[in-house]
Amino acid sequence: MSTVDVLVGPARPVPEPRQLDPGLTPGDKVFRFIAATAAASVLAILGLVALFLCLEAWPALKVSGVSFLTTFEWDPDGFPAHFGIASLVFGTTMISVIALVVAVPVAVGSALFVNEYAPARLARPLVTLLDLLAAVPSLIYGMWGLYYLQPRLQGTSLWLTDHLGFIPFFHTSRPVFGSSMFIAGIVVGLMVLPIVASVTREVLSQAPRAVCEAALSLGGSRWGMIRSVILPFGRSGIVGAAMLGLGRALGETIAIALILAFNFRIWTEVLSPGGG
């Protein structure tokens, strides 16, 4: 036997490649059925809610017609009765926009701080605190905004109308700043902030750490890594969190009813008492 035969040795047979079965297992089929049923149930429940609302609102819609969405008067005891929600829709939209302007930047900053900057011994209590704030009832937020926050925002409202009064929304025809859409929007923004921050934090925590570490190893700063990797990765999740916060802001009634001075007309001065 030559030296070459000893070093090389006999050739080994190549094993046959394992055949993968692309079919679904019984467990996969059961899981697919459960997931499809759950998704269909959500859509069915939403459809039933919409149907219930339409049926219950039909008497008012039958009396007012399309003017229900375009008029301001609300007089269910009149002859004939009048129902108009134009001012309510406008006020709700304005308060929701103010709430998102307040909540989303703070929520994204809070999520980034908890995930990227806070030490572990501080991050865990902060996550728990965010979850607890999301469970505080609307009544508590409303009373806190009415008795504590409203007097302390008088100076802020005065500064806004003095320096930004050339913008129609910040212009005031009278120097009274309580019970305004601005204060209601701030309170609602603080209400939706824990929800938006919690969802955003969870989304941003799923960013691929290998890519983040690669960005840092190439000489990038932590903020550069966040701007180039984490924020682009979580953009759709941040939008989804903002839409979730918008849903709560649009549906909030108790806190707004405690703070806002209602009148059934379009009120564009967000710093003055009024709104729908």
- Three-state DSSP string of 206-260: CCCHHHHHHHHHCCCCHHHHHHHHHHHHCHHHHHHHHHHHHHHHHHCCHHHHHHC
pLDDT > 60? residue 7: no
Least confident of 39-48, 99-108, 146-155, 171-180: 171-180
pLDDT > 90? residue 17: no
Closest CA to 170 of 190, 189, 185: 185
Band of pLDDT at residue 41, cut at 50, 70 and 90: very high
pLDDT at 52: 94
Q: What is the chain's mean pLDDT, rounded?
A: 82
pLDDT at 3: 54
Distance of CA 102 to the CA centre of its chain: 11
pLDDT digits (tens, 9 = 90+) for 103-152: 999 999 999 998 888 888 888 888 888 888 888 888 888 888 888 888 88
> What is the DSSP secondary structure assignment for residue 165, as one 8-state letter?
T
Band of pLDDT at residue 26, cut at 50, 70 and 90: confident
pLDDT at 254: 78
> What is the DSSP secondary structure assignment for residue 75, as one 8-state letter?
E
Q: What is the pTM of this model?
A: 0.74
Band of pLDDT at residue 36, cut at 50, 70 and 90: very high
pLDDT at 38: 94
Band of pLDDT at residue 22, cut at 50, 70 and 90: low
**CATH class of the 85-276 domain in this structure:** mainly alpha
> Integer distance in angstroms from the first to the last C-alpha of the chain?
100
pLDDT digits (tens, 9 = 90+) for 222-245: 888 888 889 888 899 899 999 988
As given in the structure block, the two tokens for residue 269 are 């001065």
Q: Three-state SS for 83?
A: strand
pLDDT at 20: 66
The helix (H) or strand (E) run that includes residue 74 is strand 74-75
The helix (H) or strand (E) run that includes residue 82 is strand 82-83
Band of pLDDT at residue 219, cut at 50, 70 and 90: confident
